Amino acid sequence: MKLNRLAVGLVLGFGMACAALAQTTMKISISTAQNSHQGVAIDTFAKEIEKRTNGRYKVQTFYNGALGGERESIEAVQLGTQELAFSSTGPVPNFVPETKILDVPFLFRDKAHARAVLDGPIGQDLLKKFDAKGFKALAWAENGFRHMTNSKRDVKTPEDLKGLKMRTMENPVHIAAYKGFGIITTPMAFPEVFTALQQGTVDGQENPLPVIISAKFDQVQKHLTLTGHVYSPCVFVMNKAVFDKLSPADQQAFIEAAKEGTKANRARVDEDDAKGVADLRAKGMTVIDDVDKSKFVAALAPVNAQFEKEFGKANLDRIRNYK
């Protein structure tokens, strides 16, 4: 009897050890806080992966740039030192140049238009461009429409931006556009931004409301203008070699989990956008919400002519007119 029990115990113990060995742990990171639209995206993704693979894959989540800024995280995924990352498209064109077109100012009418483009053939074709660069792009998600903040003055017209020293993303399209406004651009990784604003290294920055709220920029910025000048997508990226080793069923599980992460992410962006202005006003920020966007568009006419040359007017119009 004792021997039987011992045998059963050994079998159970061996089975549990195999189960433990069979679990593969991967890492995913974001530059923003856990309590943010990006945090919701990767938390939902991690939960869905565990559920859809019956616990065979576990995704560890890292927040607040704990594994480096967005550029470093994407680099780590490309090199294979990190399996997954969730990033805004800020630094992505440095790796996948074709994505640059999404960062052209005033390209999208609203969130519904942007989401339709990304979820439709244009966005899906762009996801495939990541393959040749060592990534599997699982799904588009979002940061939202970007707005300007600064510590110096109210910005009501493009002229008010002249001479402001602004932190920009490490993104060539953004830098070109903001120079067109007369901004002194200072490219910088996101984890460094709060301190740079606090110390006055830069006067301002630009980000969607969900980022401004979760990063607590109201503590170091007085003025917010709802310029909505650029729509900022996010993307789930995975190391291509790691993805290719998965079974077809597990590959599908990763793609579906990313889609669920996107749903949760967009819902949180909508929620933050809806309550964000009142929230930031209550925290003492001056918010200019009656912006004449046509003036900002007109100020960028020379830069837009450059973009039309670079990307092709037909390609830009295909996005602008997408229904």
Q: What is the pLDDT of residue 235?
A: 98
Residue 37 predicted with pLDDT over 60:
yes
| Torsion angle of C-alpha atoms 272, 275, 277, 282, degrees rounded to 10 | -120
Residue 280 predicted with pLDDT over 50:
yes
Q: What is the pLDDT of residue 170?
A: 85
SS3 assignment, position 28 = strand
Kindly state the tokens that stand for 122.
Answer: 């244009």
Cα 46 to chain centroid, rounded: 17
Question: Other C-beta atoms within 10 Å of 116: how many?
Answer: 15
Cα 208 to chain centroid, rounded: 10
- Percent of the chain exceeding pLDDT 70 equals 93
Lowest mean pLDDT among 8-12, 194-198, 269-273, 274-278: 8-12
Kindly state the tokens that stand for 220.
Answer: 């170091």
Q: What is the pLDDT of residue 1?
A: 53
Give residue-wise pLDDT tens across range 202-255: 999 999 999 999 999 999 999 999 999 999 999 999 999 999 999 999 999 999
Residue 116 predicted with pLDDT over 80:
yes
Pairing of strands 286-288, 223-239: parallel
Kindly state the tokens that stand for 176.
Answer: 């070109």
The tally of CA atoms less than 13 A away on the side-chain side of residue 5 is 2
CATH topology (fold) of 2-320: D-Maltodextrin-Binding Protein; domain 2 (3.40.190)
Pairing of strands 204-208, 135-150: antiparallel
Closest to 37 in 3D by CA, of 213, 277, 171, 190: 213
Give residue-wise pLDDT tens across range 129-162: 999 999 999 999 999 999 999 999 999 999 999 9
Q: What is the pLDDT of residue 11?
A: 47
Average pLDDT, the chain: 93
Q: What is the pLDDT of residue 261?
A: 98
User: Which residues lie closer than 8 Å to 40 by C-beta, 6 or more apart?
Assistant: 261, 264, 265, 267, 268
Residue 177 predicted with pLDDT over 90:
yes
**Dihedral sign of CA atoms 300, 304, 171, 144 in order:** positive
Kindly state the tokens that stand for 173.
Answer: 């399209």
Pairing of strands 184-187, 223-239: unpaired
Q: Taking the complete model, does pTM exceed 0.85, yes or no? A: yes
How far is residue 129 from each of residues 25, 125, 241, measured CA to CA in Å?
A: 27, 7, 15
**Dihedral sign of CA atoms 216, 217, 223, 228 in order:** negative
